[in-house]
Amino acid sequence: MSYRSRIFVRLLLGPVAAIAVYFVIIFLAAETAYSIHGENYLQYEGTIALVQGLGGILVFGIWLVIKKKMILPGPTWAIGKPYDWYMALVGGGCMLGLAAIYFLIVPNIPVATKAVEEYRELMNVSSPSQTDLYLSVFSICILIPILEEIIFRGCIMEGMMELGHPYVAVFLSAIYFGLMHGQVIQICYAFVSGIVIGLIYYATKNIVMTIISHSVFNIFGSGIYLLFHVSEEADNVIMWVTILCIPIFAVLAFFMLKLRPSRFPEQEETGDINKMLPGRHT
C-alpha cells in the first residue's frame, strides 16, 4: 500500500467507517429498546445506552483482537504510573472546567440561543423508572467512555499516529469526536475535550487513562446531577475546582509530553508503517 493510500485510509476511510459502525450500533440499540418497550421506547434511555455500550464494546473489542492477530498496532491497556493517573484525573477536571467556561459564554451569544435550548432538551434524560435511571448513569459514566475511547483513541487516533504526525492525529481525531456528537453546542466542547483526551493518550500511550478521564468528565458533568440534587453552592464549588484544573493540566501535559520520548523510545512513530511491522512489505 502506498503512503498516499495509507493517508486516505488512516485519515478518512478508517474514521468514517468506525463512526458509521458506531451509528449502526446506536440504531440497533434503539431498535432493541423498541422491541422491549414498544412505542414509548425513547423514554427508556437507560436501556438504549446499556445495549449501545455493551454491543459497541463487543464489536470494537473483537476488532482490536483481530488487529492484534494481524500484527497491526493497537492501543495499550495498562495500570499506568502514578503521574499517568494524575494527568488522567486532572484532565477530566480540565475538560469540565473548559466546558463550564464555554457554557458561561455561549448563552450570552444571541445566535446561539436556539442551539442552547435544543442542547438542554437533549440533556434532559427522561427515565420512567429508577432502574432505567441507574442504567443511564452506569452506561453514561462507565460503558460509553470505554466504547468511545476504544473507537476514537484506540482505533481512529492510533491509526492516524502510524503516519508519524501525532499532533495532527490529536487534532483530527478531536474533530471526528466533536462531529460525532451531532448537536451544534456539543460539537464545540466535544472537540475541545477531544484535544485534551488526545494529549492524554499521546503522553501516556495508555487507553485506560483516557477512559478514566472521559469517565470523570461524564460522572461530574452528568452522572451526579442525574442521581442527586446538587445545590447551587456545591455546583459553584465544582465549577471553580474544575476551572482550576485547566492550568494544572497545562503544566502536567507540558512535562508529560517532554518525558514521552524517554518513556517510550522504541515506540516512537516513524511515519513508515513498514518499519513498524517486521515482515510486511508494500
Task: Kindly report, residue by residue over 88-111, the tens digit of the pLDDT.
Answer: 999 999 999 999 999 999 988 888
Q: Which residues contact 219 (CB under 8 A, 6 or more apart)?
A: 141
Element (H, E) at 96: helix 82-105
Q: What whole-number distance in Å separates Cα of residue 189 and Cα of residue 41?
A: 29
Task: Report H helices in 106-165.
Answer: 113-123, 130-138, 144-149, 158-161
CA 24, distance to chain mean position in Å, is 18
Q: Which residues contact 141 (CB under 8 A, 6 or more apart)?
A: 215, 218, 219, 222, 223
CA 277, distance to chain mean position in Å, is 27
Q: What whole-number distance in Å separates Cα of residue 136 and Cα of residue 152?
A: 22
Q: What whole-number distance in Å separates Cα of residue 34 and Cα of residue 48?
A: 9
Q: What whole-number distance in Å separates Cα of residue 73 and Cα of residue 163?
A: 12
For the chain, which residues score pLDDT lower than 70? 1, 125-126, 266-282
CA distances from 156 to 83, 115, 136 (A): 25, 28, 26
Q: What whole-number distance in Å separates Cα of residue 185 and Cα of residue 196?
A: 18
* Mean pLDDT computed over every residue of the chain: 90
Q: Which residues contact 128 (CB under 8 A, 6 or more apart)?
A: 40, 43, 44
**Whether 198 contacts 94, CB under 8 Å:** no
* DSSP letter assigned to residue 281: -
Q: What is the 3-state secondary structure (H, E, C) of 223-254?
A: HHHHHCCCCHHHHHHHHHHHHHHHHHHHHHHH
Task: Kindly report, residue by residue over 228-273, the tens digit of the pLDDT.
Answer: 999 999 999 999 999 999 999 999 999 999 999 999 986 544 444 4
Q: CA angle, corner 97, sides to 151 and 188, nearest 5?
A: 50
Q: CA angle, corner 270, sides to 59 and 265, nearest 5?
A: 95
Q: What whole-number distance in Å separates Cα of residue 117 and Cα of residue 103?
A: 12
The predicted pLDDT at position 112 comes to 82
Residue 133 has a CB neighbour count (10 Å cut-off) of 17
* DSSP letter assigned to residue 104: H
The predicted pLDDT at position 126 comes to 65
In the chain, where do the E strands start and end?
none
> φ, ψ for residue 252 (rounded to 5)?
-60, -45
